[in-house]
Structure 1
Amino acid sequence: MFFRILKKDLKRKKTMNVILLLFIILCSMFAAASVNNIIAVTGGIEHYFDMAGVPDISVAVENNNDEFEKELKALPSVSGIKTEKYFEVSSSRSFIHNGSKLNNFINPARLLADTDMALNYFDKDNNIIKSVEKGTFYATTSFTADTDIKEGDDIIVRLEGKEFTLTYKGYFKGALFSTETSSGPVLLVNSEDHSTLKSYGASQSLFGDPRRLYITSTDTAAVKELAEQYDHVYASTREDHKSIYLYDMLTAYIMMAISIVLMLTAFVVLRFTIGFTITEEFREIGVMKAVGIQSVSIRGLYIIKYLAISVVGALIGFFCSLPLQDMMMKTVSKNMVLGSENGSVMGAVSCIGVVAVILIFCYMCTRRVKKLSPIDAVRNGQTGERFGKKSVIHLGSSKMPSTGFLAVNDVLSAPKRFSMITLIFALCLLIVTLMSNFALTLKSEKILWAFSIPESDAHILDAELIGDMFRGDKDAYKRLMADVSETLEKEGIPGQVSISLGKNCKSYHKDNTADIMYWVTKGETVSEPKIDEGSAPRKSDEIALTGYAMKDLGAGIGDRIKADFDGEEHEFLITGKFSTFMGEGHTALLYKDIEFSSPNSSSGVQIHFDGSPDKATIDKNIARLKKAFDTDKIYNTSDMIKSMTGISDTLNTIKKMMMILTAIVTAMIVVLMERSFISKEKSEIALMKAVGVSDRSIIAQHTLRFVIVSVLACAVSLLALMPVSNVIMNFICSMIGDISGMKCDIDPIEIFVICPIMLILVTTIGAMLTALYTRTIRASDTASIE
C-alpha cells in the first residue's frame, strides 16, 4: 500500500519533485567536487612532495657563504645534501618574444641547469624530466602568464648586449617553486646553454651565487638554528613549503562554502515542500490514522519518498561532479602532480553524506504528522479553534489597487511561509555580492596599508632598477630615490618619493628566538602607518610588531626585544601592534631613521603625486614615467595590489559562475513555490474567477507577491553584506598574513543595482510564467479541494 501511495504522489506532484531532485543533484555535485578538491590539494601536496623527493628541510642561500655549508656538513644529524645553483636574470625585458620584450613578471627569473636538478621535476604530462635538449627550455607558469607564448616558440635571451635563442618546450612543475603571478619564474635549461648564458650575464644576479640546499636530517631544528646565525640564509621545513599552495586550497574552500550554502538552500526548500505537503494532505493523513496506521509509519512514508528522490539525485550528482572536479582541478593540476586514488571514493562518501543529512532533516520536518488526527479529515485540516486575528491592512482603508492589496495581504497573512522564501533569495544574492566584494577588495587601493606601504599613486617594481639595493650597497636606495625625484622634476610631475625595505633578522625576547622581517619606509610620506593597538614608533629605539611576531617572541606592548642587524645588536621598545601581509605576518615596523645594509625584500619605490590627481591624470603621469625610465614595471595602486595578491581574477571567475548559478537556483525556487501556491489555492483562484476577476489580475497578483519577497530579500542581503564580508575577508587575509580590521571595498553599481535587478528580474519572469498555469483553473473548481 505504501508503495502505491508513493507512486501516486510522485506522479501527482511532478513539478515539485523534479525541482527538489534538481536541488539535490546540485548539492551532491558541488559537495562531491569540492570535497574531492580539498582532499586532492591538502593530501595531494604530501603526495607531490614524495614524488618530487622533497627532503626534511631545505635552505636558500642568497650569497657566497662557504662557511655556512662547512658547518652544515659537520652537523651530526645531517646525512645528505643536494645543491641547486641558479643563474639569475634580473629583468623580464631580457627575454624577447616575436620582437617584443616581456613585461609580465616583476621578480628576477632564475635559470637552473638540468645537471643540477636536486629534485624530480615534471612536465605538463607529469613525466619526470631527466634532461633538457640543447637549445630548448622549460619554464614555470609565471614565465608565460599574460602572454601568447606557446610551445615551439623561440625566445631570445639578451644579456650584456649578447643574444642567445632558446625554444620553449612547455611549462614544468617544481614542488618548491611558486606559481603565483607575482613570483619570479624558474627556467630549466641544458647545462651547456646554462654555462653560456651565465658567461654572458655574470653581473645579472642580484645575489652573488643564489642556490638552494636540500638536506636530509634527523634534526631540522638544528639546521634552522644554524641558518639563523647567517645573513641571507633561510631554512624552510617540508611543512613550511606547503604554504606555496595556499591559493589553490583557498579556491577549494570557497567552492566548499558554495556547496554548503546550496545545501542550506535545499534544506529550506525541503522544509517548505514537506510542510506544504503535510498541510495539503490532511485528509489522507487523517484517514490513515482513522484506519489505525501509526504516526511513525506515516512519517516513514514521507521519508521513503524523499529517500528515493535523494538517492536518485545523489547518484546523478555524483556522476555530474566528475567533470566539475576536472574543471576545478584544472588550475591546481597545472601546478601539482596529484594522486587520484581516493577522489571517487570521497566523492561518493560526500554524496552519501548529503543523502543522510536530507533524511535526518526529513524526519525532523515530519513531526507535524503527530499533531494531525482523524477529525482533521472532516474539518478540512482545521482544528476548530478561532483566534480572531486581525489583518494588518484593510481593503476599505487601503489606497492600493485591488491586485496590489491582495498581493501584499497574502505576504502579510503568511509571514512564516514568505519569510523562508525571502531567506532563500537573500542567501542566493549574498553569495554573488560576497564574491564581488572579495574580488574588488583584493585589488583595491584601500588595502594598501596591509602591505605596510604609505599612501601612494604609483609604484616602481622593476627588479633591474632596484637591484643594487640587494647587492650590499647601503646607499643604493638613496641614489634610487634621488634619481626618481630628479626624473619627476624633469617631467614636471611634482610628488613625494619613498621606498619600503625589509630584512629578515634573528630576534630575541627572554628565552624566545624568532626570525622576523623588519620593515622600514624611507623618504617622504603623506600618511602614517596604520596601528591596531598602541602607537607607531616615533624614535629609532621603538618598534611595532604584528600579533604573530609578538606570539613568536612571547612579547607584548611595553616589552623590549633585541635584534641582530648584520652582527650588530639593537634593542627596541614595543610601542604598538599592526597588521600586514608582509613576511607572512611575522613582521616588525621600524622608525624611518633606522639603517641596515643589504635588505632582502622591498615593495619597490612609491610615488605620491601632489594635488590629489584623478585616475586619468595618475595614469598619464605613469605613462610618462614608463617612458622616462624605459620600463613597463610602473603600476597604479590597484594594479600593484592585484599583482601582489594574485587571487582577484580567480574570485571574479567564481563570481560570474555564481551569478549564473544564482539565476538558475532562483528560477527553480520560484517555479516550485508558485506551483505549490497554485495547488494550495486552487479553490480560492476558482472563486475569484467565479466573481469576475480576470486571469490577468490573478497572474499579476501571484507575480507581485514574489516581486515583494525578492525586494525584501535584496534589503536583507544588502544589510548583512558588509558585516559578513568583513568577517570572511579578515579570515581569508589571515591565511596570507597577520591581518585584522580589514574593511571590504564595494562597487555600488554592481551591489546595489546590477545584482538586485538580476534577482528581481529572474523572480518576476519565473513567477509570471509559472502563474500562467492559473489559466487552466475554471470557476467550477470552487468545490474541489484536491
Structure 2
Amino acid sequence: MFLKMVKNDFVRQKIVTISVFVFIAMAVLLGASAINNIANLIQSMSDLQERAVPADITQMHSGEFDQAEIDKFTEEQRENIAMQETMVLLTLDGSNIHFGNNQTMAGTVQGISFVVQNKKFDFIMDLDNKKLDVTEGEVAVPIYFMQQYDLKIGDTITVKSGEYENEFVISDYARDYEMNSSLTSSKRFVINQADYNEMLLKQAGELEYLIEFKLHENGDSQGLQTAYIEGGLPANGPTVGGKIFLMFNAMSDAAVAMVIILISVLLIIIASLCIRLTFLATIDEDLREIGVMKAVGISKKDIKKVYLNKYRVMSVVAGIIGYLLSFAVVNLFNGNMRLYISSDLSGNLKYVLSLIAPLLVYFMIVMYCKKVLKRIDKISAVEALRKDSMERGKNQKYSFPLLKNKFFSTNIYMGLRDVWKRFKLYRLLFFIFIVCTFIVILPINIYNTMNSPEFSTYMGIGKSDMRIDLRRTDSITEDFKKLQEELKNDSDIEKYAAYITSSYQVKNAESWDYMNIETGDFSVFPLNYLEGRAPEGEGEISLSFANASKDGLNKNVGDKVSVKVGGEEKNLKVTGIYQDITNGGKTAKAHTSLGVNDEAVLWYIVYMDVAQGVDIREKMEYYQNAYDSAQVNDIKEYTRQTLGNIIDQMSTVVIGAFAIAVIIAVLITALFLRMLLSKDMSQIAIMRSMGLTSKNIKHQYMAGTMMVLILGIIVGVLASNYLGELLVSMAMSTMGAAKIEFVHVVWQTWLLCPLVLIVVVGFTIFVSCKVAVKDDLSVILRS
C-alpha cells in the first residue's frame, strides 16, 4: 500500500519529485566527493611518506663540507638520531638542460640538481611509489618538469656544462616527497652512479649538500637543531623540517578540498531549504486530502508517515546514487594527487568516510520534514477542507496602490509589489540566489588573485616588471656587481633594487636558530604591511607574519630581535610585519646596514621596472643572454610557476562551481515557482476571470522573481568579495598570509557571471510560468 501511495504521488508530481531527487543526489555527490578527496589525500600522503621515508630535518648547505664532522655529531646525538645521510647535489642552470628542438629549461624558477638515489632514507619514487633504480644513460625527471615542458618517457635531454656533454633517455617520472611541490625552489633529477661520477669528474655543475637526519620516534627536533647550530656545523642554507614538506605536498589538493567543502556545506543548506520549500508546497496542495484523512479518523502520526516515508525513500535512493557517482566525479579533482602523491587511490578509507555525506543529508532532510509536518498538528479538519489555513493571519494593511505607479508598466509594478508584500515568502529564493552567486564568484576571485602579478606581495615580493635571480657560481659576486652597474646605465630601466639573502643566527624564545634575512632598499618596490612599515634605517628589521607569530619568534612591532653577524650580537627593532607564503612563511627583511653574512649567502635577486614603451620580453632575453648564470622572469611568470599546481586545480573548481550554481538556480527557481503558482491558483483564476491574459500574469511573476534574482546577485557578489576574503584569509593564515585582498576582474564578477545567471534563470522563469498559467483555471473557480 505504501509503495502504491509513493508511486501515485510521483505520477501526480513528476517534475517536483524529480527535481528534488536530483538536488538531493547532487548535494550528496558534492559532499561525498569532497570527503572522498580528503580521504584520498590522507591515505595517499601516508602511503608516500611510509615508502619515501622523508627526513625529519634537512639542512641545505653550499660551500666547504666535511662529512667527518657530521658523523661525529650524529654519534653524539644517537638518542635523537636514528639515521643520517648526506646527499651530494650537482646543481646546474636551466640553460644547461637541452631537449626537443633546441629548447632549454632556462626560463624555470626552479633550481635543478642531479643526484643518485639515497641508500637509507629520503628515497625518490616512481609513479608506482617504488624506489627509482636508474640504469646508465637514463634519467628520471621530476614530475614538475615533465608537466611544464610536456616531456614523455623515451624522450631525451642533453646536459651541457663546460667540458661535459651527455644525452640521457627519460626512463621515469621522479616523485620526490621533499621537492614535489612547485612551492619548493629546487628539483632533483635522478641518474645512475656511473653517470653521476662522470659529471663529478668533469666538474659539471656546482656542489651543494642536503644534510639529512631521520629521528627516533621521540627524538627532540628542536634540541637537535640547537645543538647543530651551537656545534658550528655546515649550515650555509635553509633548514627545513619534515612538516614543511608535508604541508607543501598537501597544499594544492587541500586548497581545492577546502573550496569543495565550502560549496558542499552551502549545497547541504540549500538542499534542506529546498526540501522545506517543496514540502510546504505539497502540504498546501494536499490540504483537502489532509482534511479528509483527519475527518475519517486517521491519526496525525499516520498522516505524517505518508509524507515522511516518501522523502525517506527519496533520500535513501538519491543518497545511494550520489554516493556511488561521487567516486567517478572525484576523478575531476584528484588528477594532481594521482600524479604527485599516489597513482593508486584504491584505499578503503574513502568508502567509509564518504558515507558521512549521504547520512548527513538524510538526517537533515528527515529533521526538516518532521519540523514542517508539525504544521499538520495545528490544522483542523474543517480548516483543511476550507483550504485557507496556511494563509490565516495574512491580512495586511493595503499598500502600494496601483494608482500611484508612475514608472513601471502595470504588470511589472504588480510583480514588484507582490515581492514587497510577501517578502517572507520570497526571502528563501533571495537567500539561494545569494548563495549561488557566492559559489560562482568566490572560486573566480581566488583564481584571479593567484594568477595575478599582485599575488607576489603575498610571497614577500614587491610588485615589479622583472626579476633576475643569480645562481651560485664562482663569479656570482662579480656578476652581481656588474649587473647593478649595467642596470644603472641602462636607459630602458626605470628603476631597480638589488637584494641579498643570507642565513643568520637569530635568538628565539628558547635558543638560537637560523633564519633567512634579505637585505636591501625596500622602499623601491614596497610591500603591503599588515602592521608597521619597511626597515628604513640602521638597526631595523621587518618580519613575515609566520615569523612574528607565537609559533615563530613571537614578536610585535617595536620589539627587539637578536641577530648574530660576524660573531657579534645585534639587537634589531621590528618595524613591520608582512605576508609571505614562501620558505615555510618564515622570512625577514633588514636594512642594508645589517651587513652581509658572506659565509652564508643563499641568493642574489634584482627587481626592476622597465621604462614606458620598452618591450619587456626583449629586455628579459637580453639579460638572460648577457648573464649565463642568471634566471630572468617577469613577476607574473614567476608567480605562475611557483603556484602552478594550485592555479591549475582552481581552474577546474571554477568550472565545476559555475555548473553547480547554474543547476541549483534552475532547480530552485522551478520548484519555487511551482509552489508559488500552486498557492496562487485561486488568485490567478480571479485575474483570468477579470480578463487578464496568460501573458499578463506571466509578466507579473517574471518581474517579481527577476527583481529578487538581481538583488540576490548584487548581495552575492558583495559577499564573495568581502566575506570571501575573510574566509580565504583565515585559511591562508596557517601558510603565512593573514590578510588576502582579492584581485577583482570587474567584467567577470559584475558582468559575465551575473549575465549568465540572469539569462539562465530568466529562461527558467519564462518556461515555468508558461506551463503553469495555461491550465484551465475555470475548474478552480467552480471548486
Structure 1-normalised TM-score? 0.90
- In the superposition, relative to structure 1, how do residues 21 and 103 fare at CA in structure 2: closer, same or farther (>3 Å)? farther
C-alpha distance in structure 1 between counterparts of 2:116 and 2:594, whole Å: 40
Match of residue 176 from structure 1: 178
Q: How far off is 1:759 after superposition?
A: 0.6
- In the superposition, relative to structure 1, how do residues 306 and 184 fare at CA in structure 2: closer, same or farther (>3 Å)? same
How many residues in Structure 1 have an aligned counterpart in Structure 2? 767
Match of residue 17 from structure 1: 17
Find the partner of 2:88 among 85, 89, 101.
Answer: 85
C-alpha distance in structure 2 between counterparts of 1:395 and 1:273, whole Å: 32
Match of residue 376 from structure 1: 383
Query: Which residues of structure 1 form unaligned runs of 5+?
Result: none
Q: Deviations over 1:740-783 (max 9, x none)?
A: 33321100100110010011000011121222313641242233
Match of residue 147 from structure 1: 149
Match of residue 219 from structure 1: 219
User: Following superposition of structure 1 onto structure 2, how do residues 18-417 of structure 1 map, counting pairs within 5 Å?
Assistant: 18-54=18-54, 56-63=56-63, 64-66=65-67, 67-77=69-79, 78-103=81-106, 105-114=108-117, 118-124=121-127, 126=128, 128-129=130-131, 131-180=133-182, 183-202=185-204, 204-205=205-206, 208-217=207-216, 218-221=218-221, 222-229=223-230, 230=233, 231-232=235-236, 235-245=239-249, 246-337=251-342, 340-382=347-389, 388-399=395-406, 400-417=408-425
C-alpha distance in structure 2 between counterparts of 1:452 and 1:632, whole Å: 21
> Which amino acid in structure 2 is aligned with residue 275 of structure 1?
L
Q: Is the 8 A contact 1:497 1:525 kept in 2?
A: no
Match of residue 718 from structure 1: 717
C-alpha distance in structure 1 between counterparts of 2:282 and 2:210, whole Å: 70
> Which amino acid in structure 2 is aligned with residue 335 of structure 1?
Y
> What is the identity percentage for the equivalent residue pairs of Structure 1 and Structure 2?
20
Q: How far off is 1:175 after superposition?
A: 2.1
Q: Is the 8 A contact 1:455 1:526 kept in 2?
A: no
User: Following superposition of structure 1 onto structure 2, how do residues 329-728 of structure 1 map, counting pairs within 5 Å?
Assistant: 329-337=334-342, 340-382=347-389, 388-399=395-406, 400-461=408-469, 465-468=470-473, 477-486=480-489, 489=490, 492-509=491-508, 511-522=510-521, 525-550=523-548, 551=550, 552-565=552-565, 567-596=567-596, 597-598=598-599, 601-602=602-603, 604-610=605-611, 613=612, 618=616, 621-622=619-620, 625=623, 633-646=631-644, 647-728=646-727
C-alpha distance in structure 2 between counterparts of 1:529 and 1:361, whole Å: 50
Q: How far off is 1:367 after superposition?
A: 3.0
Q: Is the 8 A contact 1:506 1:515 kept in 2?
A: yes
What's the secondary structure of 2:404's corresponding residue? coil
C-alpha distance in structure 1 between counterparts of 2:662 and 2:429, whole Å: 15
Q: Deviations over 1:641-682 (max 9, x none)?
A: 333333233222311222222222222222222233333333
Q: How far off is 1:547 after superposition?
A: 4.3
- In the superposition, relative to structure 1, how do residues 92 and 339 fare at CA in structure 2: closer, same or farther (>3 Å)? farther
Q: How far off is 1:225 after superposition?
A: 2.1
CA RMSD of aligned residues (A): 3.0
C-alpha distance in structure 1 between counterparts of 2:364 and 2:719, whole Å: 27
C-alpha distance in structure 2 between counterparts of 1:38 and 1:191, whole Å: 39
C-alpha distance in structure 2 between counterparts of 1:239 and 1:425, whole Å: 41
Q: Is the 8 A contact 1:543 1:575 kept in 2?
A: yes
Q: How far off is 1:385 after superposition?
A: 5.6
Q: Is the 8 A contact 1:498 1:521 kept in 2?
A: yes
Structure 2-normalised TM-score? 0.90
> Which amino acid in structure 1 is aligned with residue 587 of structure 2?
T
Q: Is the 8 A contact 1:90 1:467 kept in 2?
A: no
- In the superposition, relative to structure 1, how do residues 547 and 109 fare at CA in structure 2: closer, same or farther (>3 Å)? closer
Q: Deviations over 1:404-454 (max 9, x none)?
A: 123223322321222111211111111111111111112333344333333
> Which amino acid in structure 2 is aligned with residue 225 of structure 1?
T
Q: Which stretch shifts more, 68-77 or 184-193?
A: 68-77
Query: Which residues of structure 2 form unaligned runs of 5+?
Result: none
Q: How far off is 1:401 after superposition?
A: 2.2
Match of residue 736 from structure 1: 735
- In the superposition, relative to structure 1, how do residues 506 and 48 fare at CA in structure 2: closer, same or farther (>3 Å)? same
- In the superposition, relative to structure 1, how do residues 549 and 656 fare at CA in structure 2: closer, same or farther (>3 Å)? same
C-alpha distance in structure 2 between counterparts of 1:629 and 1:62, whole Å: 21
Q: Which stretch shifts more, 421-430 or 72-81?
A: 72-81
Q: Is the 8 A contact 1:47 1:339 kept in 2?
A: no
Q: Deviations over 1:544-591 (max 9, x none)?
A: 234432323344343333123454432222333333334433233211
C-alpha distance in structure 2 between counterparts of 1:649 and 1:330, whole Å: 10
C-alpha distance in structure 1 between counterparts of 2:300 and 2:105, whole Å: 74
C-alpha distance in structure 2 between counterparts of 1:495 and 1:243, whole Å: 39
Q: Deviations over 1:35-60 (max 9, x none)?
A: 12112213432332112233554444
C-alpha distance in structure 2 between counterparts of 1:556 and 1:181, whole Å: 27
Q: Is the 8 A contact 1:474 1:598 kept in 2?
A: no
Q: Which stretch shifts more, 755-764 or 295-304?
A: 295-304
- In the superposition, relative to structure 1, how do residues 553 and 384 fare at CA in structure 2: closer, same or farther (>3 Å)? closer
C-alpha distance in structure 1 between counterparts of 2:179 and 2:239, whole Å: 15
> Which amino acid in structure 1 is aligned with residue 610 of structure 2?
F
What's the secondary structure of 1:176's corresponding residue? coil
Q: How far off is 1:279 after superposition?
A: 2.6
> Which amino acid in structure 2 is aligned with residue 95 of structure 1?
H
Q: How far off is 1:118 after superposition?
A: 3.7
C-alpha distance in structure 1 between counterparts of 2:544 and 2:711, whole Å: 42
C-alpha distance in structure 2 between counterparts of 1:772 and 1:45, whole Å: 54
